[in-house]
Amino acid sequence: MSVIRVGMIGAGWMGRAHAAAFESATRIFGTEPATLKIVAVADVSEAAAGDFAQRFGVDRWTTDWRTVVNDPDIDVIDITTPNDVHPEIALAAIAAGKHVYCEKPMANSAAEAKAMRDAAEAAGVVTMVGFNYLCSPIQAYARQLVQSGALGEIFHFRGMFDNDYMVGPEFPFTWRTDAAVAGRAGALGDMASHVLSLAHYLVGDVTEVCGTRQVLHAERKTAAGVVRKVENDDLAQFVCRFENGASGYIEASRIGTGRKLYLAYEIQGTKGSLLFDQERMNELYFYRKTDDPAERGYKRILAAPEHPDYAAFFGLQGNPLGYNDLKIIEARRLIESVALGQRWIADFSFGYRVDRVVEAVLTSVEQNRWASTEEIA
């Protein structure tokens, strides 16, 4: 079995989630053509890089990501840093001939995401974006239902991602509220991008939007007590049109009082509909209009060995998978992409199209009109 050597850029929580998934993927699935091994890690914090190296048995660690990117012995660069440095690191890695696995959002602007996509396509390297919710066996089955025609013609998608972690004024100003680091799109870029990834995966690309944005607390204090202006949205919502003619409504909020991980959607078709809530991520609700009128209603479907990737974790229906299991499946997609050339849908082209929609919403809000993704670079 061959070894895919990974250079990790970013040693925080997400980097650790990736590393744990890399260690588990081959053990869980058992039939993979290669293993993932982190051979070097870089982080701006020397302490974080050192701690990561110790936890995961990584021999080399540094505060200079360029030394990792330019290491000729590394095959894949994995980027789990804050958003603002994604493009610089990714473009340098592509120029060095590396495959790139990058957390979402790809970049803080569609133009930067496009540059990343174009460079990767020109270089012929494998790319992936960390839209891990697409890796759920339940989502794979939902996609099968949609594509099989079981829902008939899809005419509406409604999705939301609500969390209340920033509803209180005591939550500090962090990099997520700093436009220079997280971008102009706050909840829109961080959370609506996940909803958009599911919408694009299940229904098709969004092409037109009309939106609004809101900031609840105009100022927040940093950890040091300095008052800073919040520079991006706490809540964003928009109506949209899909390429296939369907309509949609998408909302994302980091001030959604009472909600914790309410990533949910409803897909409506002429023959049926689907309901999903990430807080109950191993369940899908399916309504079939063709059922006997006396028996109509949403049917609860539990994740099962018959759904893609599930059987490697459990042989019986009803055992729940968790967030880190989705990262393990995502690691499997990375192995398949690099070792077998099996492109995963969430590549840089996919990520760029999501970023175009985010930027179209910003345009819509700023100019108080409908905006098309065709207007965006």
Which residue bears the tokens 């925080």? 12
State the total domains in the chain. 2
Choose the final residue of a domain: 102, 132, 162. Answer: 132
Contact indicator for 175, 168 with CB cutoff of 8 Å: no
- Asked whether the whole model's pTM tops 0.85, one would answer yes
CATH number at residue 15: 3.40.50.720
Beta strand 227-229 with 219-221 is antiparallel
**Structure token digits, residue 12:** 């925080």
pLDDT for 32: 75
Note whether 164 and 26 are same-domain residues. no
Note whether 173 and 239 are same-domain residues. yes
**Average pLDDT for runs of 10 along the chain of length 377:** 95 98 94 92 98 98 98 98 98 99 98 99 99 98 99 99 98 97 97 99 99 98 97 99 99 98 98 98 98 95 98 95 98 97 98 99 98 95
Q: Which of 80, 251, 65 shows the shortest CA–CA distance to 157?
A: 251
Identify the burial level of 293 via C-beta atoms within 10 angstroms of its C-beta, where 0-12 means exposed, 13-18 middle and 19 or more buried. Answer: exposed
pLDDT for 15: 98
Choose the final residue of a domain: 111, 132, 153. Answer: 132
Note whether 229 and 356 are same-domain residues. yes
Cα distances (Å, whole numbers) of residue 72 to 7, 96, 196, 376 = 11, 8, 36, 36
Note whether 171 and 286 are same-domain residues. yes
Query: What is the 3-class SS of 227-248, one letter each residue?
Result: EEECCCCCEEEEEEEECCCCEE
Q: Is residue 372 in some structural domain? A: no
Q: Is residue 282 in some structural domain? A: yes
**Structure token digits, residue 192:** 């609506």
Query: CA 276, CA 267: separation in Å to the nearest integer?
Result: 9
CATH number at residue 358: 3.30.360.10
Choose the final residue of a domain: 75, 105, 132. Answer: 132
Note whether 101 and 144 are same-domain residues. no
Residue 4 is inside which H or E element, if any?
strand 2-9
Please count the residues of the chain. 377
Beta strand 154-162 with 247-253 is parallel
Tens digit of each residue's pLDDT (9 = 90 or more) over 128-138:
999 999 999 99
Note whether 182 and 244 are same-domain residues. yes
Q: Which domain holds residue 191?
A: 133-316+347-367
Amino acid in the structure at residue 216: L
Note whether 149 and 38 are same-domain residues. no
Note whether 179 and 307 are same-domain residues. yes
Cα distances (Å, whole numbers) of residue 24 to 41, 56, 163, 172, 251 = 18, 12, 29, 35, 34
Q: Is residue 334 in some structural domain? A: no
Amino acid in the structure at residue 19: A
Q: Any idea what the Cα angle at residue 258 is, between residues 253 and 261, rounded to 5°?
A: 60
Amino acid in the structure at residue 238: F
The backbone torsions φ and ψ at residue 196, rounded to the nearest 5 degrees and listed phi first, read: -65, -40
Note whether 76 and 112 are same-domain residues. yes
Note whether 66 and 122 are same-domain residues. yes
Q: Is residue 375 in some structural domain? A: no
Q: Which of 185, 194, 186, 195 shows the shortest CA–CA distance to 165?
A: 186
- Helices and strands, number each (H, E), in the chain: 11, 17
Q: Is residue 330 in some structural domain? A: no
Q: Is residue 163 in some structural domain? A: yes
Collapse the DSSP code of 251 into the 3-class scheme (helix H, G, I; strand E, B; otherwise coil) and give the result: strand
